[in-house]
């Protein structure tokens, strides 16, 4: 019996939260004790979307603009994030990781990747290849969705 798109959707909806929860736990274990999960998620977003606006980061993290502004100020004070005026619109501020912020994020991401690799090690080579192939099929579907705009006004 062929697999329907509905069965596929249910499978994704079932396993994705479990994967994300495991990754969140692991990422928390990789971060510094005085570094909150929202701060880490902010670095992760800026790593993927350098030059984002405060609005774009706030929307992704799920915080209000005032709360996100306070969080970003803390990251700026710790030299993890840099704020720069947009050359095209001086009213906008663009956020990017500093070298220190990038190093901190990379360290945590590499630790989590090593954890995932160890978790996947018991799978057969064929099972791991199936996962890689499935991800290759899914990636363009989700990449093609309207992305969170990094050009939003602050």
Tokens of 120: 């996947």
Q: What is the pLDDT of residue 154?
A: 38
Euclidean distance between CA atoms 3 and 24, whole angstroms: 30
Q: What is the pLDDT of residue 150?
A: 39
Question: Which of 68, 17, 14, 18 has the alpha carbon at shortest distance from 45?
Answer: 68
Q: What is the pTM of this model?
A: 0.71
Tokens of 89: 């619109």
Strand partners, 95: 52, 83
In DSSP notation, 3-52 reads PPHHHHHHHHHHHHHHHHHHHHHHHHHHS-TT--HHHHHHHHHHHHSTTE
Strand partners, 83: 95
Q: What is the pLDDT of residues 20-48, one digit of tens each?
A: 888 878 877 766 677 777 888 899 999 99
Identify the DSSP state of 149: P
Q: What is the dihedral of CA 43, 48, 54, 55, to 10 degrees?
A: -130
């Amino acid at each position: 019996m062929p697999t329907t798109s509905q069965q596929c959707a249910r499978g994704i909806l079932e396993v994705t939260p479990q994967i994300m929860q495991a990754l969140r736990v692991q990422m928390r274990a990789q971060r510094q004790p005085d570094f909150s999960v929202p701060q880490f998620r902010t670095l992760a977003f800026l790593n993927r979307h350098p030059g984002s606006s405060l609005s774009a980061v706030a929307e992704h993290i799920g915080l209000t603009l005032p709360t996100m502004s306070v969080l970003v100020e803390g990251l700026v004070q710790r030299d993890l994030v840099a704020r720069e005026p947009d050359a095209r619109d001086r009213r906008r501020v663009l956020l990017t990781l500093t070298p220190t912020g990038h190093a901190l994020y990379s360290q945590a991401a590499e630790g989590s990747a090593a954890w995932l690799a160890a978790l996947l090690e018991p799978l057969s080579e064929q099972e791991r290849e199936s996962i890689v192939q499935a991800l290759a099929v899914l990636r363009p579907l989700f990449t093609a969705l309207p992305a969170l705009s990094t050009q939003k006004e602050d």
